[in-house]
Structure 1
């Protein structure tokens, strides 16, 4: 993004400050084995983002935040085949009991954490995530996961649409290619979300 292009956004009033507001929650989008594997859906900076998310998750648990995870899971008989899987047919390989659809071991959920199963990009669409977060009083939702330009972005837009303040933890989200990762971070920061790296996010939400 050039200075001239960035200036257009500023002149039109995008990118206003939106400070984090307690209570906080954490959503980890699709950090499953298939997205950690460059031979399947991974690559780019996804492995580094998974590693950075380990401390983010540990801190969220220590602080008692609600934590939710999402997975893409299709029925074994593909009866829920949809437009998303029409565009990306290999998504149909993500089944309930297959290794590719399991959350990576280092971020495995513990008791009391919500696991959302979905067949579309957003973790909010047609799932119970919104009422689950609302019941726990969440105002600001920290978001980690994969991929930045796809399921992360879709979940951030829906979080904002439901009235949560999305806080995208920039080094805890990843994409298979860096250009869409960077472009989508910029766009989310201009329109929908707070952008902070992990250490900044944890400092801003402390106390």
Structure 2
């Protein structure tokens, strides 16, 4: 078992279970027993995706980190977002987030980073490739996880090791996500 799991917190676990049950969601699949990886959470088309992710994180006791726009880290919720694993990102500054993430993997024996390649809840014409460059630079795999609104499930898929052939790897990744229906399907990008 990897060390990427938090100690039991009955309140957080109960809140996570209650939220998923109230919304009618379930978790399918199993996280890998690895110390370091990037979990791709896609497709990110709604604020509800975050609620489901936090409930999922609580239920599994996953010690995962995630990037969020710096504005959600302001009071009154900023401290809570950080406690839940959030790392504020300033998109208006020339900060190399990829290099910072690679360094974080280098500095920690156990590190899970959850990223949404869309980088926004709006319609996009392509995925941001930071997740891929971080995985290649840190030599860590990607865990493909999908939000399937049609079947109300978080589906934990395969562990995927990037090969360096970006086009071929993206084709494989998009094929995995194609069957899953996001909250707003018109915003989803499938590489087409």
Q: Sort the TM-score into its range (normalised by shorter chain).
A: 0.3 to 0.5
Task: Give the structure with the larger helix fraction.
Answer: 1
Q: TM-score, length-normalised on structure 1?
A: 0.38
